[in-house]
A and B are shown apart, each in its own frame.
Chain A
Amino acid sequence: MKKALLNFFNRIEPDKKKQPLLHTAYDAFFTFAFTPNTVTASKEVHLRDGMDLKRTMVHVVLAMQLCYLFGTYNIGHQHFTALGMYESFFAGFHLKLAYGLIKLLPIFIVAHVVGLGIEFWYAAKKGHAVEEGFLVSGALIPLIMPPDIPLWILAISVAFAVIIGKEAFGGTGMNVLNIALLSRVFIFFAYPTDISGDAVWVAGIEEGVSQSYGMVYGVFDGLFGALGLDQFGSGGVPVVDGFTGATPLSLAFQGGWENVTKVYSESAMFWGTIPGSIGETSKPFILFGAVFLIITGIASWRIMVSMILGGAVMSLLLNAWGATPFMDVPWYFQFYMGSFFFAMAFMATDPVTASSTNVGKWIYGFMIGFVGMIVRVLNPAYPEGWMLAILFMNVFAPLIDHYVLEANMKRRARRATATA
């Protein structure tokens, strides 16, 4: 089978000069299917480690799979909970899953088509192979979006992030800012009503009534009807009394931890059956991904640990200050709310935009935790701080590295004068 596929690939190879874009695409898919037969040069190392960038990137994507699974289901779960239907987590399983897929898949596809399209085009233009950076960015972007994000806004934001954030700097490995967060921050400032406030986190609710289910849902309804299961119906169901769609963070801002626990139980916040961006709610699944990344050695444990430290120190300080109800939220409960762990596991650890020295990583992670907690608690305009804190520290990472390297150079110079 391998031989047949190889022959097939050889037969369809487009001409590199006449059709550069097609050839780039071909090359991307070919190297996806087959590791090339290149051998080491005569004067470099004769053995190479089995690890390459594709394998690195795909392991990050693997680490997110549980978040995808849970996030998809949670879109449906939140939708039906708001309507007072199927309130138990596993009730209406097929409907919630189908609803989540209908919401998630377009986001996933649009993010990849736009992002990869730009990557392929630039690769063809610059005459190099398609690099794997967008594998991870493309997988991260759907997880940090609200489920109802308009697709055209998503497309613009991804295009902005990839062109301005990455290709303008020279492609994978050269970007200063995290691509996934850049696309989110673009929406955050350009289309704020679509990504903040209480109304956006639960899918398919408009003015207190659920959306009318369209054609796609009809297809599923036909299938479910044939199997004798519950169906979507036509929609237009009013939401339950007292539904707000608010996230724990906005509740905490209004009235502290007590106000949060009136609406969401601690276990719901921990397991993630709450409204929020698609992939960031479920702490156990995110932590599973984080542990996976640490064990495989792909993400830096230094950044993760120091970020927890930074967040804890800042919230302890805020506890001590205690001027607002939000400041009084015990420091350990701060980690129950919002997307701290998701930012820690998948965003802050991006090796390209993080600090590149080990000492620098400690400082970088700590400062993200520290600054992010300030933004979260002290600034009423920004309900969550990690996106801004990480982008802020992305900009500072080269500076941190600069001083770490300067210290190394000074150490060397001092050693020279000491022995001379």
Chain B
Amino acid sequence: MRNKNTNKIICLTAFLLFAEMVSAQSAKSGDSNYLIYSLMAVAVLIFFFLLVQVSDNLLAIEAKQSGADKDGANFGIFPSLSEIFAPKLPDYVANKKVHALSKGHDILLEGGVTTNNVHQVNVKTFAVQPKNFTGLSPIPKVVVEVGATVKAGDHLFYDKKDPKVMHVAPVSGEIIAINRAEKRSIAEIVILADKEQVYRSLDEIDLDQVSREELVNFLLDNGIWPLIRQRPFNIIPSQTEVPRDIFISTFDTAPLAPNSNVVIEGKEDAFQKGLDVLNKLTDGSVHLGVSANGEEAPSNAFTHAQGAEIHYFSGKHPAGNVGVQIHHIKPINSGDKVWTLGVQEVITIGRLFTEGRYNAERVVAVTGAELSEPKYVSTKLGANMGDLLVGNMTGDNNRIVSGDVLTGQKKETTQYLNIFDDQVTVIQEGDYYEMFGWLIPVDPRPSISNTFPNFLFPDLKFRANTNTHGERRAFVVTGQYESVLPMDIYPQHLMKAILVKDFERMEGLGILELAEEDVALCEFVCTSKQPLQQILKEGLDIVREQS
């Protein structure tokens, strides 16, 4: 390898010297020929550039051969661009490789939680919602009846296509309703919770001894499977296939998202146990995406997790999205299947073993500018919205969102938190006319555009509302989506490929690497107000049905 390169240098040097001599001869005497001189200068510059470049490559090759570049350290002569322009990183990531993502945008909203105390709330009803799961049959087989009493962890329903995947009750109590939606599909199975929770007793299982198959059956039977999502498509994982890797993002950069340190406090052991379990389920690794944004050092449970590869990410939203992290750690190629989980789902898995019961406790951030007191509350999966928000809302023209404002779903107080959401956001409805709102907006509003003075006040927080601020149009502005999506993907062209149902192009342009949440920020910034998440969902459905 080295000889080849040395030869190259010698050849180049000789060639350049020759070229210089020729050009020097052809320069006419007396006539100041700037073109020849400038060409010569350029040639000399190129020569030195090549020299330095080749030696830089040699260094990198040397580092690779000796295996010293494993953790991605830069052994070249030049600092890489990302090193020069990288934001100042906090101390806890000193000497560690950080994926510094420069693209993205943080939407700063009023109504964040200011104290880290977790409050207890009295939620009376909980629900499991089959519609939370992508690809589940609309009418699954329900194994309980209205009026029955269940323990936490008892079976509620299963999909007839996949009868081993059990969906279980998050709390103990009485089934008070099975609500149906259009075409008799099942919307909610509602449980009135007992004051004293009782749990279904589990089989003893020794994690060190158990085979993968036994472990899978144990998790299937205890309602863990629906908590795991398989990419591509964000679906309930297949029982038969072993995932290539498992990815867990331990921080959320979405607007007003909960702080993972609060979520994990006191449950570090359960989280670690959950990681141990996951490690038995994959042949690859368990990857943790950890924040290097540095407002606060991540919990030791994340930075010192055993049996997991830690990857630090810094950057604005969507740096905390697991899809973006997968793209930078080990992208999903056609045919790959990987699993993703949230921190609280991992804790639930761990608790099966540390506590010996299905404990679906969730710390939920109740946020939004329309609340008198944004706070963290401790509840269970599928809590009732009204009970979570009781006495906290101000104003009467609000929208309640299960999840964050980018990816969440609009809910009424009679409805329930979606299964993967650990956040409730309450914002104003924007159903008002604004005079010349497009030209001279009166109240400040979040935007990535510099036509608003927002960029002069980078820390300004907004009291936003749901107005669309304009009508839907065809795609006109370009480069906008790319500027907020830190992935090697062309979202606008992908969307167009989906709209014309060009199957090959969709896959080629990377639809399999995306989930709806990843393009949510693109949808927010879209000048033409296009529904990108919905378009992507349609595309994913088409591809899923074809494969």
Contact = CB atoms under 8 A, between A and B. Distances in A.
Interface string A32-53: 0111111111111111111111
B446 A47 contact: yes
A156 interface: no
B473 A297 contact: no
Contacts of B534: 43-44
B473 A131 contact: yes
A323 to B, nearest CB: 14
B509 interface: yes
Most buried by B among A44, A172, A356, A416: A44
B466 A47 contact: yes
Interface stretch (B88-96, B163-171, B524-532): B524-532
A211 interface: no
Contact of B509 (A131, A356, A408): A408
B448 interface: yes
Given A38-B468, A356-B492, A296 B476 contact: no
A136 B4 CA distance: 57
Interface residues on chain A, size class: 35 or more
A295 B405 CA distance: 28
Secondary structure class of chain B's binding surface, majority of residues: loop
A57 to B, nearest CB: 9
Interface in B468-513: 468-471, 473-479, 482, 488-490, 492-493, 505, 508-510
A52 B450 contact: no
B447 interface: yes
A12 interface: no
A141 B474 CA distance: 23
A357 B482 CA distance: 9
Interface string A100-138: 000000000000000000000000000001011100000
Given A38-B468, A50-B449, A354-B478, A44 B523 contact: yes
A129 B409 contact: no
Q: Find the residue from A5, A55, A356, A357 having the highest chain B CB count within 10 A.
A: A55
Interface in A1-47: 2, 5-6, 31, 33-47
Interface string A373-415: 0000000000000000000000000000100110011011101
Contacts of B322: none
Nearest to B477: A351
Contacts of A219: none
A296 B401 CA distance: 32
A300 interface: yes
A405 B490 contact: yes
Given A50-B441, A50-B447, A416-B333, A173 B531 contact: no
A6 to B, nearest CB: 6
A173 B406 contact: no
Interface of A: 2, 5-6, 31, 33-56, 58-59, 129, 131-133, 170-174, 295-298, 300, 319-320, 351-352, 354, 356-358, 361, 401, 404-405, 408-409, 411-413, 415-416, 419-420
For the complex of A and B, 4 pairs with smallest distance between CB atoms: A52-B470, A35-B437, A173-B474, A409-B508
8 contacts: A33-B436, A48-B467, A50-B445, A50-B446, A56-B527, A170-B474, A401-B493, A412-B333
Given A49-B525, A408-B488, 14 more contacts: A38-B431, A46-B410, A47-B464, A47-B465, A47-B466, A48-B466, A52-B469, A53-B470, A131-B474, A300-B478, A356-B479, A357-B482, A358-B482, A408-B489
